[in-house]
A and B are shown apart, each in its own frame.
Chain A
Amino acid sequence: MSPALNRRQPGSPAVALLAALALTVTACGGADDGGEGDERRLTVMAAASLTESFTELADRFEAEHEGVEVVTSFDSSATLATQVASGAPADVVATADRRTMQMMADADALAEEPVVFARNVLTLAVPADNPADIKGLADLQGSEFVVCAPAVPCGALATEALRGAGVTTRPRSLEVDVKAVLTKVLLGEADAGLVYASDVVAAGDRVLAVPSPELTEAATDYPVAVTADSGEPDLAQEFVDLLRSDEGRRVLDEAGFSSGEGEDQP
């Protein structure tokens, strides 16, 4: 897996423009809520796939830290990267792949080396009634399935996995994000789709995961880091520690993530 497509300078004016745009949109839910002076605030920006697990972890963190309010903001990893790189007021940032995290590191927006706290494994998802009777990755041959576009991380993984499984049938659609793939499967407009394990969990019983041993290595790592501009570096570090604790692991497991430790790749 070599995401070398990236020729862009993260600090370029174009990125700043887009980031500014994104900021104005997210600012309403952001850090400027006013609030009491003695309350400490921790702002966590995380990839959209972390919504359920991080919301729960934020609640637990608040319960364990008297007088601390955790503000969460979820968006696509690329958007998060542009926001943080252009100075969005975040304390902790967690993305769904290493590449976007590297963008922030390159922009000197991180206080430390990021650590991987979770993996999300690519999963073959089918509608609950499995109309095309898909039993494994090889069954995709000749079926109507959708995947992410190769340019986005889930698409890069999918392309590789399909090649490995010898599937030559062209996907019906190269969706721009993994949620769109899931939507097509949910609506029954595709026989199958390649999404992340966490997406299948989030979709409930309307979508089934078809066990596919070939996919165990088709995973994306979720790195997390404390930002360089954090006003609460200690609290931020405690939140990162929570992610890597047994408690954090349990919550992430329930959401469909697998362990990220010991599987670090360069």
Chain B
Amino acid sequence: MTTGTRLGRAPAHLLVPALLGLVFLLVPLAALVARTPFRGLPQRLTDPVVLDALWLSLWTATAAMAISLVVGLPLAWVLARVDFPGRSVVRVAVTVPLVLPPVVAGVALLSAFGRSGVIGAPLRDLGISIPYTSTAVVLAHVFVALPFFVVSVEGALRATSREYDEVAAALGAGRGRTFFRVTVPMALPGIVAGLVLGWARSLGEFGATITFAGNFPGITQTMPLAVYEALSTDPEAALTLSFIMLVASVLVLALLRERWFGEIAR
């Protein structure tokens, strides 16, 4: 706002497309809300199947982000800071799941972790079975959301200059201390953005989850799966469920924004 007044009015050739974009995003959401039969809302909100699905969605998406943070942050760091042969190939490989249709991602996960999969078969011999479990839901989420996180964080790491790493080293900080005390805090806005992006992607995940984890209430039925199931039998219920999911995710993001972005924006 302050820059707006100092630099003059925003030009129309930027404002018009910006408004178009905003309207395009908001109109379907507003329409969804407008069509939501609120009569059914109290009943749905007390339906244990819906609550299970909502809870499952929230915790699996969060768990997926925790895993993404643990493996994705170092991966992004390696891509951004370490020169090694084939780095561009690795970078492309990381982004492949972004273009993969989610159902195909689910089949890929089954090929790896399924009963006869490369990892799934030996695991099964040990008595561990991943498909049809909440673990499978988390893995599906990680698979589709990790690329978002890594791309976002790598961008943030590249934007923060390597010189700061050099300063920290000259001050005697080891690589670990430099990573946790300098690199990560400086890239924090990007890391948080990556987490939010990945979390939102997880929350909406459908294809990979239903293919890899199946659909069972309380165990693998996330909100999108519940919505889809309702859609084929009871579209009004589907709308109500979508509305609940929308509100829940907006609430969480708004809370995060207060807590995190407020801090980081300074």
User: Which chain A residues have a beta carbon within 8 Å of chain B's beta carbons?
Assistant: 5-8, 12-15, 17-18, 76, 78-79, 82, 144, 146, 149, 151-152, 170-177, 180, 183-184, 187-189
Contacts of A6 in B (CB 8 A): 233-234
Q: Indicate if the CB atoms of A183 and B211 lie closer than 8 Å.
A: yes
Q: Indicate if the CB atoms of A146 and B214 lie closer than 8 Å.
A: yes
Contacts of A8 in B (CB 8 A): 234-236
Q: Indicate if the CB atoms of A151 and B233 lie closer than 8 Å.
A: yes
Contacts of A78 in B (CB 8 A): 231-233
* Bound Cα distance from A149 to B234, whole angstroms: 13
User: Which chain B residues have a beta carbon within 8 Å of chain A's beta carbons?
Assistant: 31, 35, 37, 107, 110, 114-116, 131-132, 210-211, 213-217, 220-221, 225, 228-236, 239
Q: Indicate if the CB atoms of B233 and A5 lie closer than 8 Å.
A: yes
Q: Indicate if the CB atoms of B216 and A188 lie closer than 8 Å.
A: no
Most buried by B among A15, A78, A189: A189
Most buried by A among B131, B220, B221: B131
Residue of A nearest to B132 (CB): A172
Q: Indicate if the CB atoms of B214 and A17 lie closer than 8 Å.
A: no
* Bound Cα distance from A175 to B236, whole angstroms: 20
Q: A78-B231, A152-B229, A176-B228 are in contact. List 6 more A-B contacts (CB 8 A).
A: A15-B235, A175-B210, A175-B215, A180-B210, A187-B107, A189-B131
Q: Indicate if the CB atoms of B110 and A187 lie closer than 8 Å.
A: yes
Q: Indicate if the CB atoms of A17 and B31 lie closer than 8 Å.
A: yes
Q: Indicate if the CB atoms of A76 and B232 lie closer than 8 Å.
A: yes
Q: Is the interface of A mostly helix, strand, loop or mixed?
A: loop
Q: Indicate if the CB atoms of B239 and A14 lie closer than 8 Å.
A: yes
Q: Indicate if the CB atoms of B37 and A18 lie closer than 8 Å.
A: no
Picked from A15, A82, A175, the residue with its CB within 8 Å of the CB of B214 is A175
Distance in angstroms from B140 CB to nearest chain A CB is 13
Residue of B nearest to A77 (CB): B232
Q: Give 5 closest A-B pairs by Cβ, nearest first.
A: A173-B214, A172-B132, A151-B233, A78-B232, A176-B229
* Bound Cα distance from A82 to B239, whole angstroms: 15
* Bound Cα distance from A187 to B110, whole angstroms: 8
* Bound Cα distance from A56 to B241, whole angstroms: 40
Q: Quick one: given A12-B236, A189-B131, are A17 and B229 in contact (CB under 8 Å)?
A: no
Picked from B31, B132, B215, the residue with its CB within 8 Å of the CB of A149 is B215
Q: Indicate if the CB atoms of B214 and A188 lie closer than 8 Å.
A: no
Q: Indicate if the CB atoms of B234 and A151 lie closer than 8 Å.
A: yes
Contacts of A173 in B (CB 8 A): 132, 213-216, 220
Residue of B nearest to A172 (CB): B132
Q: Indicate if the CB atoms of A171 and B228 lie closer than 8 Å.
A: no
Q: Quick one: given A187-B114, A189-B114, are A176 and B235 in contact (CB under 8 Å)?
A: no
Picked from B35, B110, B211, B234, the residue with its CB within 8 Å of the CB of A5 is B234
* Bound Cα distance from A79 to B233, whole angstroms: 9
Distance in angstroms from B111 CB to nearest chain A CB is 8
Q: Quick one: given A149-B215, A187-B107, are A14 and B35 in contact (CB under 8 Å)?
A: yes
* Bound Cα distance from A69 to B221, whole angstroms: 43
Residue of A nearest to B36 (CB): A14
Distance in angstroms from A182 CB to nearest chain B CB is 13
Q: Indicate if the CB atoms of B116 and A149 lie closer than 8 Å.
A: no
Q: Indicate if the CB atoms of B232 and A18 lie closer than 8 Å.
A: no
Distance in angstroms from B31 CB to nearest chain A CB is 7
5 residue pairs A–B, Cβ–Cβ below 8 Å: A6-B233, A14-B236, A78-B233, A180-B210, A187-B110
Q: Indicate if the CB atoms of B215 and A176 lie closer than 8 Å.
A: yes
Picked from B31, B115, B215, B239, the residue with its CB within 8 Å of the CB of A174 is B215
Most buried by B among A7, A15, A175, A177: A175
Contacts of B217 in A (CB 8 A): 174
Residue of A nearest to B233 (CB): A151
Distance in angstroms from A176 CB to nearest chain B CB is 5
* Bound Cα distance from A14 to B237, whole angstroms: 10
Distance in angstroms from B233 CB to nearest chain A CB is 4
Distance in angstroms from A6 CB to nearest chain B CB is 7
Picked from A5, A144, A171, A180, the residue with its CB within 8 Å of the CB of B216 is A171
Contacts of A5 in B (CB 8 A): 233-234
Q: Quick one: given A8-B236, A173-B220, are A149 and B229 in contact (CB under 8 Å)?
A: yes
